[in-house]
């Protein structure tokens, strides 16, 4: 058995959730062998970690005025994460009860039961080549949620499968980790500053996340089009404190503790944190990923027409790729095809798994329903890759905003600049880390207080960026996989 | 992608290629023409009063897709017409006196958000009302066709401010009547030696690394209607061009005073060296001003910026530094933000065998297996300061293996030229190796 630098099995154990993973958020973790799968990536990780040995963690501050780093101070990854994404097109379903947009939506080309054309990513980690290729034309929105550990090394391979509906297009694709600090251009994914992936090829992007927080990722090839078409997702980095016992170093900064043998000491209490700060502890976390789409633009891409992207006027406002009432529908089981616990990869042509009424949402797999038990501290990771401002509101529940754009709300000398509100405003491309205490049992609304975004295609007040927070009585155990 | 966009994109890149060539040939004279950074109107920080004579003027601006738009602007005579207005740089404590001459066929005025005790012809400047208490202007006017008025105030606080028309501002500001006003701390000798935005250690920046992004938008139909003196139906207002310092990407990265943009003198490319003992040892300062009626969500690639001030007020209260890290600088409508940017080679990637040997641990795809844009800022090497082989048929815009990152409005409809991507409110951040280029 190989070991990581902490002397633990390479099968990196995460803090045990209190309730069998109702709040597991990252789809890459779901493919990590929870089910006992000996995957290629586990083999890869064993190799990397075996060679790494014990070293100094390369921790660097990235604030604009930070001290000059001494380069790579013997960086040793604590863990390796390998993810394989494909980029392609596909069809999704906006709420079927919405007023039609005459001529544009529902799209007459869409195969039943779908109604809107999209571009998107798909997580194919661990799949065979044949399974990977079979994902062509099966993009999902939002993109798979990716979660990584601070101090790990991350390899994300992006394969361009081309567009099944638009074989005339030769678009490349890229991966842009939005907000990654001290990025180098080759892994920043801007085609004009580096390279993009042609159809049939792959690029492996490499990152060493040094800063915990909530980020996002998207394709930057012809960005206005590819982002609008759906190539967007949420990404987050867990702090060392969620894995290791932390102690102050000579400067007072918290760093992972080393045991007598020089190896990092794992924490055993299962506590989770947003940043390396005990004040940022939480019990349960959810992604809330904000986008909007303009049905006319999506129709034009499907029908080989040209859009003037400067006239953007969204018809649907989405949480996790879904508009209300789909936001509160359950997640689609098996949405990570690599997770064999949920059965083999599925597709709509040869579907071995009957999704029933959820078939409509096969390519919008992530629920936006928030569930918690009274008294729990809930973390909302809110990220916005749409194009208009949103103000996420929960009435009567104080929202403690502790992070903004993957930076803890803390001044350069440790000043607490976090704040409490019930309306969290985000411009396009921003993220917020929000904690709240689950109040007394009941159902609460989480919504964009801009009424324009509380409808689907028309001003009915029914739809859009609205979901439910359901709080259960103390002592309730949330069922496994109930929400994700 | 479609043919129209390919063509528009290609045309833009040709312009950029010319721009970079010009930058390098002009660099000999950089000390006098200052091809990058903030280009102030000449002014003397040692004088008790900073005097500026500003006239309205009209002219045309060019967009990267070939469109030419009638526009209004302010000018001191350095340019017969320019967009945006001249950058007015003064020192804290100086009296500022600005005489406005109105050549337009409608009244106009100036307002100075954030300045105190502004006078107009020695009377307090304040909103003007007619007999029925309707506000006709936010400040006393220079009357149409030749009117003149002098605004004065003492620049008591350092910071990034704007000046703009206070008369029919929805139209007049959109038409181009806006500019930057920068107040330097009272210890500053001259703008080109400035190293601090607010006189506080937390607002220090690298000398010469000071940049301006004035963010605005244009509806070409409005500008055509004004040019032709025809009525305009504001219910049909739709901006199609989105500018930084009066230019739309990729023109935004052309140097200051580029000869091919005679009425748009200000570039916006941010240029730094990596943070290193022999490179930059302090961050760059970016002064953002948003004159659009909507917020601007500006995203610098490459690194999180530190927001140090808003509306000319340092984020500091009761001795507590309230600056914050932000990978998305959100500039509210008619507001200003100051942010610091730096870039550090944190992971120390180095392809040269030796004590610092530290190659990127994944295979970098050979150029045959990736797409490279027809003109590329990429050096074809992932390492800072290194240059790789250029594919046949590709034009390099890279000089020495420096890095380029994008910086743009992340409401991506604003990062277009009439809908075509890689345009609009977008510029570049250039990062040179510590040893320079």
User: Lowest-confidence range among A73-87, A201-215, A435-449, B287-301?
Assistant: A73-87
At residue B33, the pLDDT reads 63
Which residue carries 């000449």 as its tokens?
B42
Enumerate the residues of chain A whose CB falls inside 8 A of the CB of residue B362: 155, 204-206
A405 touches chain B (CB under 8 A): yes
Residue A123 CB contacts under 8 Å (≥ 6 apart), including other chains: A27, A28, A31, A83, A84, A85, A144, A336, A337, A338
Please report which confidence band the pLDDT of residue B320 belongs to, taking 50, 70 and 90 as the band edges: confident
Which residue carries 């929000």 as its tokens?
A434
Please state, rounded to an integer, the average pLDDT across all residues of chain B: 92
Distance from CA of A67 to the nearest CA of B (A): 8
Residue A224 has its nearest CB partner, among B2, B330, B415, at B415
Selected residues 54-83 of chain A with any CB under 8 Å from a CB in chain B: 58, 60, 62-66, 68-69, 71-73, 75
Residue B304 CA to residue B346 CA, distance in Å, equals 13
Enter the tokens of residue B270.
Answer: 């941010």
Selected residues 193-212 of chain A with any CB under 8 Å from a CB in chain B: 193-198, 201-206, 208, 210
The angle subtended at Cα B29 by Cα B27 and Cα B34, nearest 5°, is 75
Enter the tokens of residue A257.
Answer: 């503790």
As a 3-state breakdown, chain A gives helix, strand, coil percent values, each rounded to 5, of: 15, 30, 55
Distance from CA of B271 to the nearest CA of A (A): 15
Contact B411 A72 (CB under 8 A): no
At residue A30, the pLDDT reads 33
Residue A48 CA to residue A81 CA, distance in Å, equals 10
Residue B7 CB contacts under 8 Å (≥ 6 apart), including other chains: none
Query: Does B392 score more than 60 pLDDT?
Result: yes
Residue A77 CA to residue A80 CA, distance in Å, equals 7
Please report which confidence band the pLDDT of residue B6 belongs to, taking 50, 70 and 90 as the band edges: very low
Query: Does B199 score more than 90 pLDDT?
Result: yes
pLDDT average, residue stretch A201-213: 97
Query: Does B31 score more than 60 pLDDT?
Result: no
Q: What percent of chain B shows pLDDT beyond 90?
A: 90
At residue A332, the pLDDT reads 79
If one counts every other C-beta atom within 10 angstroms of the C-beta of residue B135, the result is: 10
Which residue carries 């506590």 as its tokens?
A271
Residue A260 CB contacts under 8 Å (≥ 6 apart), including other chains: none
Please report which confidence band the pLDDT of residue A27 belongs to, taking 50, 70 and 90 as the band edges: low
pLDDT average, residue stretch B329-357: 95
At residue A40, the pLDDT reads 32
Contact A195 B415 (CB under 8 A): no
Contact A204 B421 (CB under 8 A): no
pLDDT average, residue stretch B360-372: 94
Contact B324 A409 (CB under 8 A): yes
B197, B412, B415, B431: best to mutate for the A interface, most A CBs within 10 A: B412
Enumerate the residues of chain B whose CB falls inside 8 A of the CB of residue A151: none
Residue A292 CA to residue A304 CA, distance in Å, equals 21
If one counts every other C-beta atom within 10 angstroms of the C-beta of residue A337, the result is: 24
Q: Which of A80, A168, A96, A157 is nearest to A123 (CA)?
A: A157
Query: Does A16 score more than 80 pLDDT?
Result: no
Predicted-complex ipTM score: 0.91
Query: Does B10 score more than 70 pLDDT?
Result: no
Cα A333 to Cα A204, B50, B258, distances in angstroms: 28, 69, 58
DSSP string, A275-342: SSSGGGEESEEEEEEEEEE-HHHHHHHHTT----GGG---SEEEETTB-BTGGGSPPPTT-STT-GGG
Residue B349 has its nearest CB partner, among A184, A228, A417, at A184
Judge residue A437's burial from the number of C-beta atoms within 10 Å of its C-beta, 0-12 exposed, 13-18 middle, 19 or more buried: middle
Residue B25 CB contacts under 8 Å (≥ 6 apart), including other chains: none
Handedness of CA A402, A406, A411, A414 (dihedral sign): positive
Query: Does A70 score more than 90 pLDDT?
Result: no
Enumerate the residues of chain B whose CB falls inside 8 A of the CB of residue A406: 304, 325, 327
Handedness of CA B134, B136, B137, B141 (dihedral sign): negative
Cα B86 to Cα A281, A310, B38, distances in angstroms: 51, 28, 11
pLDDT average, residue stretch A303-325: 96
Residue A147 CA to residue A406 CA, distance in Å, equals 13
Cα B136 to Cα A357, B108, B109, B130, distances in angstroms: 60, 10, 11, 7
Residue A73 CA to residue A53 CA, distance in Å, equals 14
A41 touches chain B (CB under 8 A): no
pLDDT average, residue stretch B392-397: 95
Query: Does A34 score more than 50 pLDDT?
Result: no
At residue A28, the pLDDT reads 56
Burial B146-169 (b: 16+ CB within 10 A, else e): ebebebbbbbebbbbbbbbbbbbb
Query: Does B20 score more than 80 pLDDT?
Result: no
Q: Which of A345, A433, A389, A373 is nearest to A140 (CA)?
A: A345
How does strand B284-290 pair with strand B336-341?
antiparallel
Query: What is the 8-class DSSP label of residue B14?
Result: H
Phi, psi for residue A29 in degrees, rounded to 5: -65, -35
N- to C-terminal Cα separation, chain A: 31
Instruction: List, for residues A427-444, the tens digit of each pLDDT value.
Output: 999 999 999 999 999 999
Bigger pLDDT: A356 vs A31: A356
Q: Which of A37, A56, A86, A100 is nearest to A456 (CA)?
A: A100
Q: Which residue of B has its CA nearest to A75?
A: B347
At residue A79, the pLDDT reads 76
At residue A458, the pLDDT reads 85
Contact B346 A222 (CB under 8 A): no
Query: Does A106 score more than 90 pLDDT?
Result: yes
At residue B155, the pLDDT reads 98
At residue A91, the pLDDT reads 97
Residue B30 CB contacts under 8 Å (≥ 6 apart), including other chains: none
A57, A183, A192: best to mutate for the B interface, most B CBs within 10 A: A192
Query: Does B312 score more than 90 pLDDT?
Result: yes
Instruction: List, for residues A241-288, the tens digit of each pLDDT value.
Output: 999 999 999 998 899 999 988 899 999 999 999 999 999 999 999 999
Contact A181 B303 (CB under 8 A): yes
Enter the tokens of residue A33.
Answer: 């062998």
pLDDT average, residue stretch B218-228: 98
Instruction: List, for residues B87-144, the tens digit of each pLDDT value.
Output: 999 999 999 999 999 999 999 999 999 999 999 999 999 999 999 999 999 999 999 9
Contact A64 B411 (CB under 8 A): no
Instruction: List, for residues A374-421, the tens digit of each pLDDT value.
Output: 999 999 999 999 999 999 999 999 999 999 999 999 988 888 899 999
Please report which confidence band the pLDDT of residue A13 belongs to, taking 50, 70 and 90 as the band edges: very low
DSSP string, A86-142: EEEEEEE---TTSPPBTTTBS-TTSPTT--EEEEEEEE-TT--HHHHHTTTT--BSS
Which residue carries 């040709």 as its tokens?
B14
At residue A331, the pLDDT reads 83
Selected residues 196-225 of chain B with any CB under 8 Å from a CB in chain A: 202, 204
Please report which confidence band the pLDDT of residue A78 belongs to, taking 50, 70 and 90 as the band edges: low
Residue A224 has its nearest CB partner, among B369, B378, B416, at B416
Enter the tokens of residue A434.
Answer: 């929000």
Give one word for B176, left, alpha or beta, with left for phi > 0 and alpha for psi -120 to 50.
left
In angstroms, what is the C-alpha Rg of chain B?
A: 22
Instruction: List, for residues B236-279, the tens digit of each pLDDT value.
Output: 999 999 999 999 999 999 999 999 999 999 999 999 999 999 99
Enter the tokens of residue A381.
Answer: 């990771």
B48 touches chain A (CB under 8 A): no
- CA–chain centroid gap for A98, Å, is 27
At residue B313, the pLDDT reads 96
């Amino acid at each position: 058995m190989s070991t990581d630098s902490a002397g633990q099995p390479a099968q990196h154990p995460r803090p045990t959730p209190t309730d069998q993973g109702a709040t597991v958020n990252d789809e890459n973790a779901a493919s990590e062998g929870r089910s006992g799968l000996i995957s290629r990536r586990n083999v890869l990780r064993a190799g990397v970690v075996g060679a790494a040995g014990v070293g100094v963690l390369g921790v660097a501050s990235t604030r604009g005025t930070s001290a000059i780093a001494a380069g790579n101070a013997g960086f040793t990854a604590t863990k390796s994460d390998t993810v394989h994404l494909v980029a392609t097109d596909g069809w999704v379903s906006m709420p079927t009860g919405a007023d039609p947009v005459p001529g544009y939506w529902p799209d007459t080309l869409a195969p039943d039961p779908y109604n809107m054309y999209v571009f998107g990513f798909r997580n194919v980690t661990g799949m065979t080549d044949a399974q990977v290729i079979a994902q062509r034309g099966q993009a999902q929105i939002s993109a798979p949620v990716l979660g990584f550990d601070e101090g790990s090394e991350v390899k994300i391979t992006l394969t361009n499968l081309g567009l099944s509906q638009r074989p005339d297009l030769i678009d490349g694709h890229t991966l842009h980790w939005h907000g990654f600090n001290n990025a180098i251009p080759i892994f920043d994914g801007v085609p004009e500053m580096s390279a993009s992936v042609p159809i049939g090829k792959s690029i492996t992007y490499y990152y060493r996340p040094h800063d915990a927080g909530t980020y996002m990722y998207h394709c930057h090839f012809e960005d206005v089009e590819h982002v609008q078409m759906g190539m967007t997702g949420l990404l987050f980095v867990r702090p060392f404190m969620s894995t290791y016992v932390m102690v102050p170093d000579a400067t007072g900064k918290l760093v992972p503790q080393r045991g007598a043998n020089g190896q990092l000491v794992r924490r055993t209490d299962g506590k989770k944190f947003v940043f390396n700060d005990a004040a940022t502890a939480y019990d349960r976390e959810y992604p809330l990923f904000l986008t909007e789409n303009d049905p006319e633009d999506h129709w034009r891409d499907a029908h080989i027409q040209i859009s003037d992207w400067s006239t953007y006027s969204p018809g649907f406002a989405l949480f996790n790729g879904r508009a209300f009432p789909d936001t509160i529908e359950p997640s689609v089981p098996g949405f990570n095809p690599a997770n064999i616990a949920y059965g083999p990869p599925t597709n709509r042509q040869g579907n071995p798994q009957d999704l029933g009424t959820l078939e409509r949402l096969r390519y919008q797999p992530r629920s936006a329903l928030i569930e918690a038990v009274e008294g729990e501290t809930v973390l909302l990771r809110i990220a916005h890759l749409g194009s208009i401002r949103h103000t996420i509101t929960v009435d009567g529940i104080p929202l403690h905003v502790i992070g903004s754009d993957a930076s803890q709300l803390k001044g350069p000398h440790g000043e607490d600049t976090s704040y409490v509100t019930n309306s969290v405003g985000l411009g396009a491309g921003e993220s917020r880390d929000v904690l709240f205490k689950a109040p007394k049992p009941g159902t609460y609304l989480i919504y964009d207080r801009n009424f324009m975004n509380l409808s689907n295609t028309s001003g009915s007040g029914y739809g859009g960026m609205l979901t439910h927070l359901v709080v259960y009585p103390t002592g309730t155990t949330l069922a496994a996989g109930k929400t994700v | 992608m479609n043919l129209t966009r390919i063509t528009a994109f290609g045309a833009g890149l040709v312009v950029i290629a010319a721009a970079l060539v010009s930058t390098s040939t002009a660099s000999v004279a950089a000390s006098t023409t200052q091809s990058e950074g903030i280009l102030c109107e000449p002014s003397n920080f040692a004088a008790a009063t900073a005097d500026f004579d500003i006239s309205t003027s009209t002219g045309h601006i060019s967009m990267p897709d070939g469109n030419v738009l009638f526009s209004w602007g302010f000018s001191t005579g350095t340019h017969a017409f320019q967009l945006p207005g001249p950058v007015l740089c003064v020192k804290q404590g100086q009296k500022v006196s600005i005489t406005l001459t109105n050549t337009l066929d409608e009244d106009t005025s100036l307002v100075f958000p954030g300045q105190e005790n502004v006078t107009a012809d020695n009377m307090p400047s304040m909103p003007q009302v007619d007999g029925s208490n309707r506000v006709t202007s936010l400040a006393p006017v220079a009357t149409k066709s030749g009117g003149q008025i002098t605004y004065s105030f003492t620049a008591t606080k350092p910071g990034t401010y704007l000046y703009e028309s206070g008369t029919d501002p929805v139209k007049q500001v959109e038409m181009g009547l806006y500019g930057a006003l920068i107040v330097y701390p009272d210890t500053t000798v001259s703008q080109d030696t400035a190293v601090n935005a607010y006189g506080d250690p937390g607002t220090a920046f690298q000398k010469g690394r000071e940049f301006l992004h004035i963010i605005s938008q244009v509806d070409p139909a409005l500008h055509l209607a004004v040019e032709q003196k025809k009525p305009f139906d504001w219910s049909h207002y739709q901006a199609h061009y989105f500018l930084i310092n009066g230019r739309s990407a990729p023109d935004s990265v052309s140097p200051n005073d580029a000869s091919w943009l005679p009425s748009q003198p200000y570039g916006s490319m941010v240029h730094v060296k990596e943070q290193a003992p022999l490179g930059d040892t302090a961050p760059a300062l970016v002064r953002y001003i948003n004159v659009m009626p909507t917020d601007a969500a500006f995203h610098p690639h490459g690194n999180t910026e530190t927001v140090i001030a808003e509306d000319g007020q340092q984020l500091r209260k009761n001795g507590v530094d309230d600056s914050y890290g932000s990978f998305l600088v959100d500039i509210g409508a008619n507001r200003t933000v100051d942010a610091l940017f730096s870039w550090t080679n944190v992971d120390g990637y180095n392809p040269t065998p030796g004590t610092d040997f530290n190659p990127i641990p994944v295979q970098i795809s050979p150029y045959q297996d990736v797409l490279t844009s027809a003109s590329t800022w990429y050096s074809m090497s992932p390492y800072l300061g290194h240059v790789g082989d250029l594919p046949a048929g590709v034009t390099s815009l890279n000089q020495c293996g420096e890095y380029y990152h994008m910086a743009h409005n992340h409401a991506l409809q604003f990062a277009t030229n009439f809908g075509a991507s890689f345009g609009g409110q977008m510029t570049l951040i250039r990062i040179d190796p510590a040893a320079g280029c």
